[in-house]
Amino acid sequence: MQTRLRTALVAVLFLVAACGGEEDTPQARDPRPTTSAPQPTASFNHAAALIDTRDGSVIVRVEVAQTDEQRMQGLMFRESLPEDHGMVFIWFEEHSGGFWMKNTLIPLSIAFFDEAGKIVSILDMQPCEADPCDVYDPGVPYYGALEVNRGMFDEWGVRKGDTITLSF
């Protein structure tokens, strides 16, 4: 059962094993003073997500969330995200359930994709700073999800059925 996504996921494992160190980037450092709110602790590897649409292709620079700690942190506490950037969440087996926006300060759109990289659902999400927060569930199983600034998928012409290929 070889697919482009499975190959990309295997490449992630090799990349993580080879990298080892943390990058000192603005995304990896939190310049805000210590407050009573929990502070981000995870660091992320970087990759590119190529989205093939009916009208062409779009490249998005992404941070990769593949561990439980990274997926829990996601884009929490970020005050902005460049237009052509995002975060990709990867699971190594079929996954279900939703995302929430607790402590996420910027509105996001999320595209859920299957093992072959085919987009199975796209949702728009609102920031949430206090419980209860909405849960954004695609209602279908998935292997990954790509978050970008809210509305960017519409701007890029990305729709359900388009494909995402990760490059590391």
Segments forming the whole domain that contains residue 130: 4-19+44-167
For residues 67 and 42, the answer to whether their CB atoms sit within 8 Å is yes
Tens digits of residue pLDDT in 17-64: 334 333 333 333 333 333 445 556 789 999 999 999 999 999 999 999
Q: Is residue 82 part of a domain?
A: yes
Q: Is residue 32 part of a domain?
A: no
Measure the CA dihedral 25/28/31/32, to 10°: 160
Q: Is residue 8 part of a domain?
A: yes
Tens digits of residue pLDDT in 87-140: 999 999 999 999 999 999 999 999 999 999 999 999 999 999 889 999 999 999
Q: Is residue 37 part of a domain?
A: no
Q: Is residue 31 part of a domain?
A: no
- What is the model's pTM? 0.78
What's the domain count of the chain?
1
Looking at residue 61, which CATH number applies to its domain? Answer: 2.60.120.1140
